[in-house]
Amino acid sequence: MTGDMGGEGQGLERAVRMAVADEAEETGLTPPEIVVLDDKADPFEAASVARRATDDPSVFAVIGHMTSGCALEASRVYAQAPLAMITPSATATSLTLQQDRPDWGGDRVVFRLPPSDSVQGEYAAEYAVKRLSLKRFVLIHDRTPYGLGFAESFRGALERKGGTTLSFEPVSRGDKDFAAAVAAVKSAKPEAIFFGGLYMEAGLLIKQLRAAGWTGVFMSGDGAKNPDLFEVSGPAVDGAYFSVGGVPVEALPSASDFVARYQKQWAGAALHTFDHYGYEAARVALQALRKAEGPDRRKVLEAVRVGTRRGMVGDIAFDAKGDTLRGFVTMTKANFAAKKFEVAY
């Protein structure tokens, strides 16, 4: 809710509030209270937040966490409760796979609406090689479970499709100076860069690359596809590519009512990449609450596990790991003049 990713968290809260209001209006039932806890995009803080949630017996489900690093830490706490965690945005492949590890020691509680990084990495590499005829890449990642995992997924898919990873460069969240990464890029002379990380670092990185004279193609994922990216990067981001799970909400006809109501209710607030998933995650939790006939955590968990919801993104259901059964991915392209991401056909 605060920090560089605070805008994303605030967008999810707005969407969840819309979902709870819609559910109450449609069913006539008294809406549950929404409790907002701030993990500050810090995995250590996320574990503390998760313990606060599990210690409150009235909490029957969690919508979150926003980032993969936080979701990984918090999910281990929720597994002991057990408490269903429905994330609208955390895409690290390991988030659901960790539940198969012998040291997991709890229930399967993780559910994810967007496709994982392994799905997105495969798609992005396919798009790069087949659509853009790009094969020589420098890969840069921010060392986080999301950024590193996404870059590794992209690297594996790229090399299976005949591409080459010239260099695999780490940076860190919070970095402002990317001189070392820029030097590595200029030395390797790639056709393109793939960046695994979030919008702040993506914007600063591409700005510094362009200032250094590099003119190749920049690609990244949904963690960097943020309306605030344009302010960070300036015109340097124009023409860059960003994959996103599903169809971007602004290009999804079935989401037009949600978008219109969101913009009317929250005038002046930018619609973020995962807000519609936040809405749907809340509706999934509320549907499970009704089926469980009350806030029994185990019954709610089972209702989420076996339930299906017809939402604006289509039928929402989960496989045995908790991953979405909808593995669709879209590529978007940054248009700096319009300050928006357009579907790249």
Task: List the domain boundaries for the chain.
Answer: 6-115+253-316, 117-245
CB neighbours (10 Å) of residue 180?
Answer: 12
- pLDDT, residue 345, reads 79
CATH of 117-245, one of 3.40.50.2300, 3.40.50.1370, 2.130.10.10, 3.10.20.30: 3.40.50.2300
Q: CB atoms < 10 A from the CB of 321, how many?
A: 17
d(CA 101, CA 283): 30
**Cα-based angle 269, 273, 277 (whole degrees, multiple of 5):** 100
- Tell me the pLDDT of the chain (345 aa) as tens digits: 999 899 999 999 999 999 999 999 999 999 999 999 999 999 999 999 999 999 999 999 999 999 999 999 999 999 999 999 999 999 999 999 999 999 998 999 999 999 999 999 999 999 999 999 999 999 999 999 999 999 999 999 999 999 999 999 999 999 999 999 999 999 999 999 999 999 999 999 999 999 999 999 999 999 999 999 999 999 999 999 999 999 999 899 999 999 999 999 999 888 999 999 999 999 999 999 999 999 999 999 999 999 999 999 999 999 999 999 988 999 999 999 999 999 997
Q: What are the start-end ranges of the H helices in 79-174?
A: 94-97, 117-126, 145-160
Q: Distance (Å, rounded) from C-alpha 238 to C-alpha 340? A: 10
pLDDT of residue 4: 86
* 3-class secondary-structure state, position 335: strand
Of 61, 69, 115, whose CA–CA distance to 88 is shortest?
Answer: 115
CA neighbor of 119 nearest in space, from 330, 315, 316? 330
* pLDDT computed for residue 81 by the predictor: 96
pLDDT of residue 250: 86
Tokens describing residue 168:
């695999």
The string of DSSP letters for 235-273 reads: GGGTT-EEEEESS-GGG-GGGHHHHHHHHHHTTTPPPPT
Structure-block tokens of residue 187:
């030395």
- Token look-up 């015109």 returns 235
Is the four-CA dihedral 265, 266, 272, 274 of positive or negative sign?
negative
Letter string b/e over residues 132-150, b meaning 16 or more CB atoms within 10 A of that residue's CB: eebbebbbbbbebbbbbbb
Decide if 6-115+253-316 and 117-245 have a common fold: yes
What is the distance between the alpha carbons of residues 98 and 75, in angstroms, rounded to a whole number? 10
- Report yes or no: 325 and 116 within 8 Å, Cβ to Cβ: no
φ, ψ dihedrals at 180, nearest 5°:
-65, -45
> What's the confidence (pLDDT) of residue 268?
83
d(CA 13, CA 250): 19
- The Cα 3–Cα 15 span in angstroms is 19
Alpha-helical segments (H) within 127-197:
145-160, 179-188
Contact call for residues 229 and 199 (beta carbons, < 8 A): yes
pTM attached to this predicted model: 0.93
Question: Topology of domain 6-115+253-316, per CATH?
Answer: Rossmann fold (3.40.50)
* 258: β partners: none
* Rounded Cα distance, 89 and 15, in Å: 13
Q: According to the model, what pLDDT value does residue 45 have?
A: 97
